Amino acid sequence: MRYPFWRLGVFLAACVAPVLWLYQAWIFALGPDPGKVLVDNFGLGTLILLLITLAMTPLQKLTGWPFWIVVRRQLGLWCFAYVVMHMTMYTLFVLGLDLGQLGVELVQRPYIIVGALAFLCLLVLAVTSNRYSQRRLGARWKKLHRIIYVILGLGLLHMFWIVRADLKEWSLYAGIGAALLILRIPMIARRIPRLKLAGPTQSAKS
């Protein structure tokens, strides 16, 4: 396994936030409505992880350090783990485990439908993220995993429908997302310069 310590570092970093939030909720440090805060935190966490995952390819192009691609799958799976927590918290604390109501929400509310679609796509990516699927799907694997761009769009739309009064935070994420997509346009991707950074390439020895 390449870069075991770097990978462990990413793993631990991704664990820190959920453990901290759950602990804060436990001791009532998240305020009087901790369930709702957890839903929001995990939702936003999912979006941020999605953006980080999408940043790996451009970063690899920029620095030439292979680690960015090595860690990409783990980040994608974390993104999926966060969205599972997001939905679990929503079902538990917003719907109060009323599964009948979940059905109603899934049919009636556009932002829930869009969110659920994004989740289904992430599920497909998570399930096919292993080597076996990569071999099995061959060239189609790459095509399939391009739906991450669709997921980004759905996720941003889901958030857009929730924040109604001030778009500052949303614009920031949408802007970063747009930039990451623009960097993938072949004409632009070809022009990403290769930086000669001493740091990362030396670290590659680990």
Which positions lie near another protein, rule CB under 8 A? 25-26, 28, 31-36, 38, 93-94, 96, 101, 104-105, 108-109, 111, 161-168, 170-171
Minimum gap (Å) between residue 94 Cβ and another protein: 8
Rounded CA separation 93/180 (Å): 34
Q: Could you tell me the two tokens for 50? A: 């999605």
CB 159 within 8 A of CB 170: yes
Burial label for 170, CB within 10 Å (0-12, 13-18, 19+), is middle
- Output 130 or 171, the one with its CB closest to another protein: 171
How many residues appear in the chain?
206
Minimum gap (Å) between residue 98 Cβ and another protein: 8
Minimum gap (Å) between residue 39 Cβ and another protein: 12
- Output 3 or 82, the one with its CB closest to another protein: 82
Minimum gap (Å) between residue 9 Cβ and another protein: 29
- Output 40 or 201, the one with its CB closest to another protein: 40
CB 156 within 8 A of CB 174: yes
Minimum gap (Å) between residue 34 Cβ and another protein: 5
- Output 32 or 138, the one with its CB closest to another protein: 32
Burial label for 48, CB within 10 Å (0-12, 13-18, 19+), is middle
- Output 167 or 188, the one with its CB closest to another protein: 167
How many of the other CB atoms lie within 10 Å of CB of 19? 10
Minimum gap (Å) between residue 151 Cβ and another protein: 21
CB 43 within 8 A of CB 112: no
What's the Rg (C-alpha) of the chain? Answer: 19
How many of the other CB atoms lie within 10 Å of CB of 90? 21
- Output 9 or 31, the one with its CB closest to another protein: 31
